[in-house]
Structure 1
Amino acid sequence: MTEKRTHFAPVIVWFRFDLRLHDHAGIRAALESGRPILPLYIWDENPATRPLGAASKWWLNRSLEALNQDLQKHGSRLILERGNARIILTSMAKEYGIKTIYCSQTFDPKNEHNDWEMADELAAAGIKLYRLNNTLLVPPGTLYTQGGKPFRVFTPFYKSLLASGACYIDTLPDLPAKPWPQPTKWPKSLKISALGFQPALTPSGRDWSSNFDRFKPGEAGARSALKHFLKNSLQTYESDRDRPDLDVTSHLSPHLRFGEISPQRILHEIAQATQTDHRLTTGAAKFHAELAWREFSYGLLAQQPRLHVANFRRDFDHFEWRHDDAQFRAWCRGETGYELVDAGMRELWQTGYMHNRVRMVAASFLVKHLLIDWRRGEQWFWDCLLDADPANNPASWQWVAGCGADAAPYFRVFNPITQAAKFDPKGLYRSRYIQGYTHSPTDAGHTKKQAELFESTDTFLKYPQPVVDHVFARDRALQAYKNRMADEEYE
């Protein structure tokens, strides 16, 4: 009787940040086992890693709904639990005779350590936890410099990644069309609404997430976004990717963040598209590099598990940041008086997204114009971005601040005025998010127009004066960074 129960015992596919059915090593292994499958998601209210921000919870809520709908098409369903993963997995395994659990690696060092301990505990109880890569092209610890050390500079890392062949995907297996093997008894499940992911309300009572609808969470939404990108944007991606007034970005970042699409799938589809249309080759090469930055960032996270709070370059630990809550609040609200920065911050608050070029300008403004600690800005992005990623977000902030690996040189201070003129020449992006904005094509016009907006009697059209003069702020930042270098030499 025991032998029969073991043979028909279900296997668990434990979903984490891998909310898809295709290109999923755990699902493939579970199907090949021929055993009943229990698809499980656990919401851990006390995670080993950084808690999700508000915007990410909004996305997770809808992504779980989409995943459950996709499972139902295969005669299955998503089981939802809330609590400690170790306790829940051990309890389910005992109740249903489970000996095998498949899950994805998150490549967050704190989670990885927790997983190793969990795997040992489960193994002691006769349960095998298979941790598989469903997230990256090349896991951290795979590629090294010629000196045998982890990469800290992007360009040689990218060359090594290309040489590894990981960026070239010929074929991908598909899911069988037949229904999945079902257990004789389904465990009880929470409803998604019981997980508490309802959108936050503003002080006025308005649904903060009401304008997040430019995205469609879920695997189907990810596939649709990729298809649109290949058809409409890849050809001009290399030349126009920095233009926030043009819709040429892939919008795949939140889908990648929640594992609704694999980087292998993206590269496979790009390869097929370029074989059909060689005009896409240049754009494809540039997009490969953007995907590689994500891989590079996870390598940095592996080297510095506290990447969101600890300077990668420890010589920045004594940098003298300014503490100015009023200016930080103005930056968060998009009320700095610099149009491109303000448009980006308002886009972030309204849509849960910000164009990548504008992210760099806005981050540079906070860190260098205002000399406010990069960690405050990183935390705001973490809470507001739908694609807030534990590696990309802090790695990019540290790059701008100059304290990260392969960081921007200290003397690079983005000029928000010239950046606006170069990348939003007709003011289309700014007019989208700044009410009452009318474009002036010159820097002189920029100053005059800001004064006109500020003096408007209509409170909705009133535009703030600059919180700091650009020339003054640039000189102050350069001096602060030079002082840090001098202090380093003295020490």
Structure 2
Amino acid sequence: MTERPIALMWFRNDLRLSDNPALLAAIKWADQNDGVVLPVFILDPVISAQLGGATKWWLEKSLSALDTSLSKLGNAQGGLRLFTGDAGPILENIADAKPIKSVFWNRLYDKPSTARDTEIKATLQDHGLTCESFKANLLFEPWEVKTGGGTDFKVYSPFWRACKKFPPPREPMKAPEGITLFEGGIENEVDLAAFDLGPKPFDWAGGFSERFTPGEQGAKDQLFDFIDERLVDYADMRDRPDHRVTSELSPHLRFGEISPYQIWHTANHFADANPGKGKTASKFISELGWREFAHHILFHATDLRSVPLQGQFRHFPWSDAPEALTRWQKGKTGYPIVDAGMRELWHTGYMHNRVRMIVGSILVKHLLIHWRDGLAWFDDTLVDACPANNAFSWQWIGGCGADAAPYFRIFNPVLQGEKFDPKGEYVRQWVPELRDMPERYIHKPWEASPLILKAAGVTLGKTYPEPLIGLKEGRERALSAYQDMKQAVA
């Protein structure tokens, strides 16, 4: 019996059914050619290199959710087929063994992924297959947005202004109503357990599931909960870690469980339905703009993870301070707002964006520890760590990236804490040893009298650490290092 032709849908960072152009194209092709669809996910070296402990946890849950959704949609067992190894040879082997006629995927924008995809497309086309790729996870392609001189942008504000001159992003596409799945066996197919993504040697990720529900439905629930309950306060309260106001959609976007089109249009519908609330919706949508800008930079940069965009920072005199780095990682710097953020990160896989800037500034400015060390820790512990946003943000914090705050802009963690966590509620939640400190001293316990410390049950250096470095000392040392770098490149 002649096998029906197959459209292969290659999932990567687009783990959803709705608003998935490649999936819809594969289904349409199969319907028009009396064929079937073969959805696959390949854990290849490119994807593996972009996963840390926290994102591995998320990916496992997300793949399981997608498999369930595909199986239900196609009324079949095993909706998503899993493979591990180099993607190119795996796809070629499947095409040699099965009547694959077309391959569909949604585009990625980091250098390893684009190089891999370009090579695979050429190889499969040489084998007589049709390959189609789609824009699905960005509102604007990195090569679409140009300066007046025809170059890529280096500064956010003019980049986003240029984006807003384009026609509005398309409406999101509805999820398919059905799919005819390929149901035969495939050589070298594995089950999800073979990916070995779970936390080891113990389940340190228990707190993640208290905060998040990976998968497309979890993403939709998160979006609508944010729109209904928190977006109204977003513009005024988004910098307050003591209030849950931000969307927390970043890990869902990282794995493509929701598209930026869905978010953009939902936020605009909120603005249309709530006259006078356009400001808060616009502020939220501008954060999508920062995500677009990060991917724009990622696409054009040589190596965003390793090479400073501002070349002079190749000569910056970073310190080798492993003990200080460890204390930062464990949330034991002696600065309450910093320690709260680092402990929140370890427990939940997430950290409020304002606090990310504060903890990053302490690391690269006061402690003079390389931004790449901070990037590596966030890569391993953040559920939303992605090749674009994480590297872009650490270069921004380090003063060496695109549109970066000047290096000499140094966050004071005490003033930041007092401004954005004025009653110390965020600190009390994540640094319980300071729970009974008076509000006046919650962000600077070293200034409290021995009597106040005793009443709060705090012994500096024992129950809570003294600061790793003095604020004035750290600031002066950072500025001196900056001057040394400028002299070195003069």
Q: TM-score, normalised by structure 1?
A: 0.93
1:286-325 matches, cutoff 5 A:
286-325=283-322
Match of residue 83 from structure 2: 81
Name the aligned partner's letter for residue 215 of structure 1. Answer: F
User: Structure 1 residues 369 and 460, CA, compared in 2 at 3 Å: closer, same or farther?
Assistant: closer
Contact 2:50/2:386 (<8 A) preserved: no
**8 Å contact kept, 1:336–1:465:** yes
How do 1:95-110 and structure 2 match up within 5 A? 95-110=97-112
Is the 8 Å Cα contact of residues 440 and 449 (structure 1) preserved in structure 2? no
SS for the counterpart of 2:14 is: coil
Rounded Cα–Cα distance in structure 1 between residues aligned with 2:424 and 2:193: 41
Return closer, same or farther for 1:454/1:191 CA change in 2, 3 Å cut-off: farther
Matched, 1:442 2:440: yes
Name the CA distance, whole Å, in 1 between partners of 2:449 and 2:156.
39
Separation (CA, whole Å) in 1 of partners of 2:65 and 2:265 = 23
* 1:464 equivalent in alignment to 2:444: no
| Match of residue 364, structure 1, among 361, 364, 367 | 361
**Pairwise mapping of residues 5-404 of structure 1 onto structure 2 (< 5 A)?**
5=3, 8-33=4-29, 34=31, 35-44=35-44, 46-47=45-46, 50-75=49-74, 76=76, 77-166=79-168, 168-169=169-170, 171-177=171-177, 179-183=178-182, 185-187=184-186, 189-201=189-201, 206-213=202-209, 214-404=211-401
Give the Cα–Cα distance (whole angstroms) in 1 for the partners of residues 472 and 183 of structure 2.
Answer: 71
* Count of aligned pairs: 477
User: In structure 2, what is the Cα distance between the partners aligned to 1:238 and 1:461?
Assistant: 40
AA aligned opposite 1:160? A
Percent of aligned pairs sharing the same letter: 39
The alpha carbon displacement at 1:487 in A equals: 2.9
SS in 2 for 1:476: helix
- Give the residue type in structure 2 aligned to 1:464: P
Which ranges of structure 1 fall in alignment gaps of 5 or more residues? none
| Counterpart-to-counterpart distance in 2, 1:248 and 1:89 | 43
The Cα shift of 1:440 comes to: 2.8
Residue number in structure 2 paired with 1:480: 481
Aligned partners of 1:235 and 1:282 also within 8 Å: no
Aligned-pair CA distance for 1:256: 0.2
| Deviation digits for residues 468-491 of structure 1 (CA, Å, limit 9, x no counterpart) | 000111111112112322333x2x
SS in 1 for 2:228: helix
Question: What is the alpha-carbon distance in structure 1 between the residues aligned to residue 401 and residue 488 of structure 2?
Answer: 18
State the one-letter code of the partner of 1:172: P
Question: 1:440 is aligned with what amino acid?
Answer: P
1:410 is displaced (CA, Å) by 2.0
Identify if the C-alpha distance between structure 1 residues 445 and 131 changes in structure 2 by more than 3 Å, giving closer, same or farther.
closer
| CA spacing shift, 1:58–1:266, aligned 2, 3 Å | same
SS of 2:49's partner is coil
Is contact 2:137–2:260 with CA below 8 Å preserved after alignment? yes
Cα distance between partner residues in 2 of 1:226 and 1:55: 21
Please tell me the root mean square deviation across aligned C-alpha atoms, in Å: 2.2
| CA distance, structure 2, for counterparts of residue 52 and residue 142 of structure 1 | 28
CA shift in 2, pair 1:112/1:315, >3 Å = same
Q: Identify which of 410, 421, 424 aligns with 2:418.
A: 421
1:174 is displaced (CA, Å) by: 1.5
Equivalent residue letter for 1:120:
A
- 1:449-469: CA deviation from partner (whole Å, max 9, x where unpaired): 597389968999810000100
CA 1:350 to 1:424, structure 2 compared with 1: closer, same or farther past 3 Å? same
Separation (CA, whole Å) in 2 of partners of 1:135 and 1:330: 37
Residue 85 of structure 1: CA displacement?
0.9
Contact 1:200 1:209 in 2 (8 A): no
